[in-house]
Structure 1
């Protein structure tokens, strides 16, 4: 009986541990000749200022009900990469639209995912009217 109970605990905790896959993805965006930054993301976003001269994005992804192989393929296809649109001195960062599509996992279950992003913006930008504007140093 004791062995059966231990086996039950092992199976329960192994399903909890192996039921979620996590990965961090990093991206950098050059701000040469950029005076404004606009961020259009539907995921959870945290903004931090840092002393660098470009934007760094850390995307922490938790993937549920799917295999590591499925998750790796999604990463390779660029599912979690941001899209940058550069127009006259403005950089717009946005989702690529892929994260809104549902994924069928093993046994036809729908895979869930949680994406939390931290965006590191240079200290010489300030938030104003929905965009980050470069502050002139005088």
Structure 2
């Protein structure tokens, strides 16, 4: 009887450490305007639902539940991108794929753990379903009168025309009475300047 009690107590203590672990993960991806087709290549073991919304980007919401595992193992799985998605852009396509397409079996303390992943994928409401995990939207049409033509030139700004308004000209013209003629300043003569020397003649003394 005492052995059974100790066994039950041990199971009760160990249960919280290996209980069900849950976490909600979110990711967002910007869809380029040139993309007319969305392609999803997702891990087959998860459950998915694709829903339209008014946003211009894609958002994923993953509800992850892991059973018979530990918190440290669960955190390790999330940090290593087990439930992440990655995007790839093409010329007119946008692909969303599972980061880990081949998930290895989860084991904790020699026991196999189990996981359940439910993913909701929100896509722009301009896309319509075209096949299994393929969505498309019509390409933005160019008006017929602009097809094959260069875009209309932009109207130049005043500063780009090289023209000066009359108001600006008046502000730049200096009034005539604002100019003062400065007197010419002549620097003093240098003391080292050699002045002309008068030639003197010596008079001979009379004998």
Unaligned 5+ segments in structure 1 are none
Query: Relative CO higher for 1 or 2, CA cutoff 8 Å, sep ≥ 6?
Result: 1
Question: CA–CA distance in 2 between the matches of 1:135 and 1:126?
Answer: 9
CA contact 2:82–2:103 (8 Å) conserved in 1: no
> 1:126 aligns to what?
128
State how 1:13-92 maps to structure 2 within 5 Å.
15=15, 19-32=19-32, 33-41=34-42, 42=44, 43-92=46-95
Matched length = 130
Larger strand fraction of residues: 1
Structure-1-length-normalised TM-score: 0.81
What is residue 101 of structure 1 aligned with on the other side?
A: 104
Report the CA distance between 1:99 and its aligned residue.
Answer: 5.5
Distance, in Å, in 2 between the alignment partners of 1:24 and 1:86 is 26
Q: 1:113 aligns with which of 109, 112, 115?
A: 115
- Take 1:31 and 1:103, find their aligned partners in 2: how far apart are those partners? 34
Distance in 1 (alpha carbons) for counterparts of 2:25 and 2:50: 16
Instruction: Report the CA distance between 1:129 and its aligned residue.
Output: 3.1
CA distance, structure 2, for counterparts of residue 124 and residue 137 of structure 1: 11
Task: Give the distance between the partners of 2:67 and 2:138, measured in 1 at CA.
Answer: 42
Question: What TM-score, normalized to structure 2?
Answer: 0.56
Q: CA RMSD in A?
A: 2.7
